[in-house]
Amino acid sequence: MSYKNKTVWITGASSGIGEALTLNLAEQGAHLIISSRRSESLEKLAERCEKAASILIVPLDLEDEQSVQNAADEVLEKIKELHYVFHNGGISQRSLTHETSLDIDHKLMQVNYFGAISLTKRILPVFLNQGFGHFVVTSTISGVFGFPLRSAYSASKHALHGYFDSLRAEHVKNNIDVTIVCPGRIKTNISLNAIGADGKATGVMDDAQNNGMSADLCAKKMLKAVEKKKKEIYIGGKEILMVYFKRFIPSLYYKLAATVKPD
Ligand SMILES: NC(=O)c1ccc[n+]([C@@H]2O[C@H](COP(=O)([O-])OP(=O)(O)OC[C@H]3O[C@@H](n4cnc5c(N)ncnc54)[C@H](OP(=O)(O)O)[C@@H]3O)[C@@H](O)[C@H]2O)c1
18-51 pLDDT per residue, tens: 999 999 999 999 999 999 999 999 999 999 999 9
Tell me the best of 9, 19, 44, 91 to mutate to test the pocket of ligand 1, counting ligand atoms within 8 Å of each CB and taking the most.
91
> What 3-state DSSP class applies to 178?
strand
Answer yes or no: is the C-beta of 206 below 6 A from any ligand 1 atom.
no
34: how many CB neighbours lie within 10 A of its CB?
31
Per the CB < 8 A criterion, the answer to whether 149 and 96 are in contact is yes
Q: Which amino acid is at 37?
A: R
Say whether pLDDT at 1 is over 70: no
Among residues 157, 161, 243, the alpha carbon closest in space to that of 256 is found at 243
Report domain extents, the chain.
Answer: 7-259
CB-CB contact of 80 with 29 (8 Å): no
- Looking at residue 260, its pLDDT comes to 85
Closest approach atom of ligand 1 to CA 157: 47
CATH of domain 7-259: 3.40.50.720
Find how far residue 87's CA is from the centre of its chain: 5
pLDDT tens column, 156-214: 999 999 999 999 999 999 999 999 999 999 999 999 999 999 999 999 999 988 999 99
pLDDT at 263: 82
Ligand 1 atom at minimum distance from 193 CA: 20
Q: Judge if pTM exceeds 0.95.
A: yes
Ligand 1 center from residue 111 Cα (angstroms): 10
Amino acid at 89: G
Pocket of ligand 1 contains residue 196 by CB under 6 Å: no
Phi then psi dihedrals of residue 9, to 5 deg: -105, 125
Burial class (CB in 10 A: 0-12, 13-18, 19+), 221: middle
Residue range 54-79: mean pLDDT, rounded: 98
- What element of type H or E holds 129? helix 115-130
Residue type, 32: L
DSSP string for 80-107: S---EEEE-----B-B-GGG--HHHHHH
Sheet holding 232-235, edge to edge: 54-57, 31-35, 7-11, 84-87, 133-138, 176-183, 232-235
Report the share of the chain in percent with pLDDT over 70: 100
Q: pLDDT tens digit string along 222-258?
A: 999 999 999 999 999 999 999 999 999 999 999 999 9
